[in-house]
A and B are shown apart, each in its own frame.
Chain A
């Protein structure tokens, strides 16, 4: 897996900038008057920040362990393709929750928060970060009680699947948290982690793209538009590149 170059000033700046919001590199755009010619600056743009494997940035170790176990049931490993855990879905969720998604940045979060009709969209005053913390705590409490002191990770796969199904349908109630809403949130984020570009920490080695046959972050299929019902031969590529970009030998 190609990593962004570590030997030049730009990437060091990226690493130092922290894990939160998208990297602002240089932007041509903010609050300006435009007249006369198209503005342009070297190195302008906002590439995505590459997520490096490492310690949890949002989850506590216990939360992280639970999430890893959960994502590995939602998308289980099989002989051919990794499951949610090895695909990095938990890493993805961890990074996302530490960033603007986790804090509902950019959403309209003014009160009052009233109960919606089913058509009025999410009115939850809790951010995803808060929902995960509460949801995992409530799930943890439930498991401790129902399984005599165990954590989710320590349950058997069958027990985990049954519990997750119960959360999903509402058959299992956890304290103070709507279990099926929490389940839907985790499932949504797990799938996003599975299918999004590996630069975000999930879809490690482009496993989901290889699984389905999606060629990734490409932009040119001009030679393919008229080739009907033929298998596309090139391997997937991430925004961060692919192994073939590196010289062999």
Chain B
């Protein structure tokens, strides 16, 4: 309660400051809106706040959570069904504290856990941009969770364990570029939402920050500077290009990361791309030694036979693929993650890679699940995870069976 009061004072003060700033710098409103548009792209708000085939930002997308479904609200400036009635202070409170103007908790599917790091200036710019959108009348009842999760007050308890509010604080020991990257990654880009594993209560397991996590039937890989499983072996350029194009000379993005790139990071400035590359690469790796599965095992022998017959025409015998067309498997961190869920999924049902302005090709992998048994999928995936210098835990037939069942449940 005291916390809240302090915040209120702080917010009112900053609001006044902002209004004064606006009044004095009327000509900067265009600049603020343009910056807000850029930051909105960076935060990828449109991805969650737009239903399939719906109007942008008008809400209606069902978001899967471990506790049930939520439907994203309408954040166009419609006064009745959107956020048109929100004052700047309301918007800041939502972003920084996960609370709506009536004081109700927002569910952390809205990543205020990350957006709390976003500066007032940036948050207000986003608000200013959103206020320029065409208001759309679309009443959304967000809360679709089953009892007891539909009781919003429960979030307060969740926040106690999992939410540390507060603006981003630059690290004076780091370069401005690193700090910019950290600001983006821990804030608007909310990388941890996907890439950090979750605790039982669904909060971030910060002991394994950005070391990879499973969600929506995919495994979001490790993006620390680990040399085997993270981006440690990639140059800063390769990391930046990957985020901009969805392809670099080694890897190709598909699945939810594809959407992130197409909607968001493909439109960032080169400086911002480089900054986040600096930040991620500098995150210490875990440097675990993993013994590769031996070549002369039955698994690897079968995997080799499948690979040479089915996979090498695209991924090549030497595992190097075709730069910017077919991902390499050799030394590709995506191939060596602790969890092989993404690999299994791609082998079973195929995948389409990203199409962006600088990488228009959008090559796709055909589905193989119809012709390979669970054991065969397991063996070829184990093979690629342990060849050409790769090393990663073997995959079993039951792992594959579980992924297929999960995909079937999801309707895929």
Name A's B-contacting residues (CB within 8 A): 2, 4-5, 7-11, 14, 25, 37-38, 40, 42-45, 47, 217-220, 222-223, 234, 237, 239-242, 244-249
Stretch touching chain A among B47-55, B280-288, B308-316: B308-316
Q: In the complex, what's the smallest C-beta–C-beta distance from B353 to chain A, in angstroms?
A: 10
Q: In the complex, what's the smallest C-beta–C-beta distance from A34 to chain B, in angstroms?
A: 13
- In the complex, are the beta carbons of A37 and B350 less than 8 A apart? no
- In the complex, are the beta carbons of A242 and B305 less than 8 A apart? yes
Return chain B residues, CB-CB under 8 Å to A245: 302, 305-306, 309, 372, 376, 379
Q: Which secondary structure dominates chain A's binding surface?
A: loop
Bound Cα distance from A172 to B308, whole angstroms: 51
- In the complex, are the beta carbons of A234 and B308 less than 8 A apart? yes
Which of chain B's residues has its CB closest to A221's CB?
B313
- In the complex, are the beta carbons of A244 and B355 less than 8 A apart? no
Task: Answer yes or no: B408 CB below 8 A from chain A CBs.
Answer: yes
Task: Answer yes or no: B263 CB below 8 A from chain A CBs.
Answer: no
**Residues 154-203 (chain B) with a chain A CB within 8 angstroms:** none
- In the complex, are the beta carbons of B362 and A237 less than 8 A apart? no
Q: Which of A4, A43, A218, A244 contacts B350 (CB 8 A)?
A: A43
- In the complex, are the beta carbons of A38 and B352 less than 8 A apart? yes
- In the complex, are the beta carbons of A25 and B308 less than 8 A apart? no
Given contacts A9-B408, A43-B350, A247-B375, 6 further A-B contacts (CB under 8 A): A4-B370, A38-B355, A45-B366, A218-B313, A220-B317, A248-B302
Q: Which of B355, B364, B371 contacts A240 (CB 8 A)?
A: B371
- In the complex, are the beta carbons of A11 and B370 less than 8 A apart? yes
Return chain B residues, CB-CB under 8 Å to A42: 349-351, 367, 407, 412
Name B's A-contacting residues (CB within 8 A): 298-299, 301-302, 305-306, 308-309, 312-313, 316-317, 349-352, 355, 362, 364, 366-367, 369-376, 379, 401, 404, 407-408, 412
Asked if A220 meets B302 with Cβ closer than 8 Å, knowing A239-B371, A245-B376, the reply is: no
Return chain B residues, CB-CB under 8 Å to A222: 316-317
- In the complex, are the beta carbons of B309 and A10 less than 8 A apart? no
Bound Cα distance from A219 to B302, whole angstroms: 18
Asked if A242 meets B309 with Cβ closer than 8 Å, knowing A9-B408, A42-B412, the reply is: yes
- In the complex, are the beta carbons of A8 and B371 less than 8 A apart? no
Return chain B residues, CB-CB under 8 Å to A223: 317
Asked if A244 meets B412 with Cβ closer than 8 Å, knowing A42-B350, A43-B349, A45-B366, the reply is: no
- In the complex, are the beta carbons of A45 and B317 less than 8 A apart? no
Return chain A residues, CB-CB under 8 Å to B306: 241, 245
Bound Cα distance from A47 to B375, whole angstroms: 20
- In the complex, are the beta carbons of A237 and B309 less than 8 A apart? yes
Which of chain A's residues has its CB closest to B404's CB?
A8
Q: Offer 20 A-B interface pairs, CB within 8 angstroms, sorted by A.
A: A5-B374, A7-B374, A9-B404, A25-B370, A38-B352, A40-B364, A42-B349, A42-B350, A45-B367, A217-B309, A219-B312, A219-B313, A220-B317, A223-B317, A241-B371, A245-B379, A247-B298, A248-B301, A248-B302, A249-B298
- In the complex, are the beta carbons of A244 and B305 less than 8 A apart? yes
- In the complex, are the beta carbons of B302 and A40 less than 8 A apart? no
Among A11, A14, A40, A42, the one with the most B-chain Cβ atoms within 10 Å of its Cβ is A42
Return chain B residues, CB-CB under 8 Å to A10: 369-370
Return chain B residues, CB-CB under 8 Å to A43: 349-350, 367, 369-370, 412
Return chain B residues, CB-CB under 8 Å to A248: 298, 301-302
